[in-house]
């Protein structure tokens, strides 16, 4: 049995929340007032939040609180990204999906949909790096060296560096890149839905439908699924202040 995606479910990816990039707080507050059936937070919701670093929890408290409030009134899923990981148990009431369980297959009506952040299995080097950096031992050691002794200087530097990163650009050869990833998804999946790339596009490839959730940080857009009579539609929506 696969978990269900219900009609009206909201998918948000790549918000890269910082104290200067706060539109997601407004959207989550709106959703709390008018709860959808489900909310799927598809990774890189935070610009940087690593579970072992207490400093980052403090930095991200406004968004953590908003997610926890939303989880009281509707079902919330959080897919680990490459900017926010090792967060299991860090947000109350949230169903957490680590990278090791991605892609995860859901059903919507009779359609099987593979969900992931999208940061997986590009190549062996990348795979080994993601496993190393997601090790609690590795991050615990890093925390000890750079956090407890030197006043979080390393994390502060990374936070400042990431704020300057260019998030929104066109990915040349994107469809070809995705064709190479399709084979790494569960064969039963008819639709592949992920974030990570900030492209906000959809197309058919190798007999499957591919949907890339827009990068919320780029244009404050997200996706809503509507289903009925064995059909599934993905509609792009835009947050209005």
Contacts of 37 (CB under 8 A, 6+ apart): 6, 7, 8, 9, 74, 75
> From the centroid of its chain, how far is CA 209?
19
Instruction: Report if residue 4 sits inside a domain.
Output: no
- The answer to which of 18-27, 66-75, 148-157, 167-176 has the lowest mean pLDDT is 148-157
Count: domains in the chain: 1
How far apart CA 61 and CA 39 sit, in angstroms, is 19
Q: Report which of residues 186 and 138 the model is more confident about.
A: 186
Contacts of 74 (CB under 8 A, 6+ apart): 31, 35, 36, 37, 38, 39
- What's this model's pTM, rounded to 2 decimal places? 0.93
Distances, alpha carbon 12 to alpha carbons 27, 39, 49, 130, 217, in Å: 10, 8, 17, 22, 10
Tokens of 39: 């909310």
Neighbours of 44 (CB within 10 A): 30
pLDDT tens digits along 180-209: 888 888 999 999 999 999 999 999 999 999
Specify if 5 maps to a domain. Answer: no
Q: What is the pLDDT of residue 123?
A: 63
Residue 75 lies in a domain: yes
Confirm whether 1 is domain-assigned: no
- Can you tell me the mean pLDDT for 219-240? 93
Dist. CA 60–CA 141, nearest whole Å: 22
> In angstroms, rounded to a whole number, what is the distance separating the alpha carbons of residues 64 and 183?
35
Query: Domain of 151?
Result: 10-238
Tokens representing 74 are: 């509707």
Residue 149 in this model has a pLDDT that exceeds 80: no
Share of the chain above pLDDT 70, in %: 91
**What span, in angstroms and rounded, lies between the C-alpha atoms of 38 and 225?**
10
> Sorting pLDDT into bands at 50, 70 and 90, what band is 58?
very high
C-alpha span between 182 and 118 (Å, rounded): 11
What CATH number did the domain enclosing 84 receive?
3.60.21.10
Inside any domain, residue 123: yes
Predicted local distance difference test score (pLDDT) of residue 151: 67
Asked, for residue 33, whether it belongs to a domain, the answer is yes
CB 202 within 8 A of CB 211: yes
- Cα angle for residues 58, 55, 77 (degrees, 5° grid): 60
Q: Is residue 98 part of a domain?
A: yes
Examine residue 115 and state whether it is found in any structural domain, yes or no.
yes
133-137 long-range Cβ contacts below 8 angstroms, 24+ apart? 134/85, 134/86, 134/98, 134/99, 136/51, 136/52, 136/86
Residue of 211, 230, 232 whose CA lies nearest to 222: 211
């Amino acid at each position: 049995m696969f978990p269900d995606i219900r009609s009206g479910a909201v998918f948000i990816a790549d918000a890269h929340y910082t104290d200067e990039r706060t539109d997601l707080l407004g959207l989550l507050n709106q959703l709390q007032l008018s709860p959808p059936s489900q909310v799927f937070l598809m990774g890189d919701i935070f610009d940087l939040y690593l579970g072992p670093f207490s400093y980052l929890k403090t930095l991200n408290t406004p968004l953590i609180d908003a997610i926890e409030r939303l989880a009281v009134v509707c079902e919330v899923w959080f897919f680990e990204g490459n900017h926010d990981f090792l967060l299991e148990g860090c947000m109350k009431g949230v169903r957490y999906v680590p990278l090791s369980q991605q892609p995860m297959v859901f059903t919507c009506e009779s359609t099987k949909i593979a969900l992931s952040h999208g940061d997986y299995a590009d190549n062996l080097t990348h795979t080994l790096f993601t496993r190393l950096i997601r090790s609690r031992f590795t991050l615990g050691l890093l925390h000890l060296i750079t956090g407890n002794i030197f006043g979080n200087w390393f994390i502060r530097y990374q936070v400042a560096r990431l704020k300057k990163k260019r998030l929104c650009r066109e990915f040349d050869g994107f469809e070809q890149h995705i064709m190479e990833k399709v084979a790494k998804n569960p064969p039963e999946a008819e639709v592949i839905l992920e974030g990570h790339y900030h492209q906000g596009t959809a197309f058919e490839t190798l007999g499957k439908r591919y949907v890339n959730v827009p990068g919320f940080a780029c244009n404050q857009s997200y996706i809503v699924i509507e289903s009925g009579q064995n059909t599934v539609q993905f509609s792009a929506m835009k947050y209005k202040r």
